[in-house]
Amino acid sequence: MIVLLTGFVLLKTGRTDADLIAERRQQNNSFAATTLSFSNRNTANFDAVTWFFTTDHLKPDGYDVRALKVQRDGKMDFNYTIQAQKKSGDDALCNALELTVMKDWQEVYKGNLFTPNIKRSLAGGGSDDLVFVIKLTKNDVSLRQKQCDFSFEMHTYKNSPDEPEKGLYARQELQNSIKTGIW
């Protein structure tokens, strides 16, 4: 009866004075947060770059050159990959383009535009200064007045480039458009 009466009083008053406290203290424990970020910069003025190659009237054995600074903006060291992905355009032209990537005038990659899986690392701060060369290697009249639109996709990883993107990671994309002329 007392329990029933206490329950009735508590329902009518709408409050109770019972408090529960759970506390855990850990000595010498610290929490730190960091950042992982990178940007693609113009090597002449350090402005951000989103469009990279915008080449018109490319002809056989013609080439175009661009330089890129991959800048570490966050606090963490990281590894990153560069891959080309076709967006639209003529398949034959896209497959006829050759890519060369250099770091300190040493070839990092040379071959088909869509084959590379370039792996780089930015440790201890700083930046990567890379030179990209796109060349039309075939003298085929069917490649005249065609267009190839693609992107260079860059993403960071911790241990393996195939690991899922979770936790801290960053992704950048550079747009490109190559158009051929008449020869």
Q: For residue 91, what is the domain's CATH number?
A: 2.60.40.10
In a domain, 145, yes or no: yes
Query: Number of folded domains in the chain?
Result: 1
SS3 percent helix, strand, coil of the chain, rounded to 5, is 10, 45, 40
Position 125 scores a pLDDT of 66
Domain coverage including residue 102? 38-161+169-180
In a domain, 8, yes or no: no
Q: What does the pLDDT profile of the chain (183 residues) look like in tens digits? A: 665 666 666 666 655 555 566 677 777 766 555 555 667 776 667 777 788 999 999 999 999 999 888 877 777 778 888 999 999 999 999 999 999 999 999 999 999 999 877 888 887 767 888 999 999 999 999 999 999 999 999 888 777 777 777 777 778 889 999 999 998
In a domain, 17, yes or no: no
Position 103 scores a pLDDT of 92
Residue 80 tokens, joined:
């990153």
Residue 6 tokens, joined:
């206490």
In a domain, 42, yes or no: yes
Residue 132 near residue 116, CB atoms below 8 Å: no
Position 11 scores a pLDDT of 62
Position 102 scores a pLDDT of 95
In a domain, 30, yes or no: no
In a domain, 105, yes or no: yes
Rounded (10°) CA dihedral 93, 107, 83, 160: 160
> What pTM, to 2 d.p., does this model score?
0.75
